[in-house]
Structure 1
């Protein structure tokens, strides 16, 4: 399996895990995304690609940063700190 495919699989697993932790059903996610439950099921299981717009919408529904979906929760703040430092340098 390629590293790209592994990353995509990890993202799908994170989406499923967070969805379940929040108590959201696949039906709820599908309704919020304005797609069928079957279409959502295919997204989560890897039978269909997630386009960027849907990916962003999923993050919004789950109330998390897209960076957390991509990299996991342990790396989210690393990016935030980088951008804060970059902004401080530009402001000074």
Structure 2
């Protein structure tokens, strides 16, 4: 999976602005430079996992929102997660998964 760093930066900027936090405050809270935050927000520098965690903690947002633009609690997130899991499966595994899923989908809950 590849990431669009300009979209990640855009989401970080949006979350930061929604919290009313300046780049300077975010940078200070993470012990990094303003220039680093600016580069991340413009998609010029990829954010590493440690700093992503710090950003999310300060901005009180999820990594799922920053990386994918979705929240874990949404139905779309779960649907996308299932699709992602299926992408690497062999045709045989897909058939097996379908055999497991079909009875669940056919179940009407009356019994």
Q: Same fold (TM over 0.5)?
A: yes
Structure 2 residues not aligned, in runs of 5+: 82-111
Q: Which of 13, 16, 36 in structure 2 is aligned with 1:16?
A: 13
Residue 72 of structure 2 aligns with which residue? 76
Q: Distance between the aligned counterparts of 1:9 and 1:72, measured in 2?
A: 12
TM-score, normalised to structure 1, is 0.70
Structure exhibiting the larger radius of gyration computed from Cα positions = 2
Which structure is higher in helix share?
Answer: 1
1:33-78 deviation digits (Å, cap 9, x = unpaired): 10111121112112222111001111111111111212224x4214
The runs of 4+ residues in structure 1 deviating greater than 6 Å are none
What is the 5 A alignment of 1:6-85? Answer: 7-73=4-70, 75-77=71-73, 78=75
Q: Distance between the aligned counterparts of 1:49 and 1:69, measured in 2?
A: 12
Q: Distance between the aligned counterparts of 2:45 and 2:8, measured in 1?
A: 13
SS in 2 for 1:4: coil
What is the 5 A alignment of 1:80-91? Answer: none
User: Residue 12 of structure 1: CA displacement?
Assistant: 1.2
Q: Is the 8 A contact 2:23 2:38 kept in 1?
A: yes
Q: Is the 8 A contact 2:7 2:43 kept in 1?
A: no
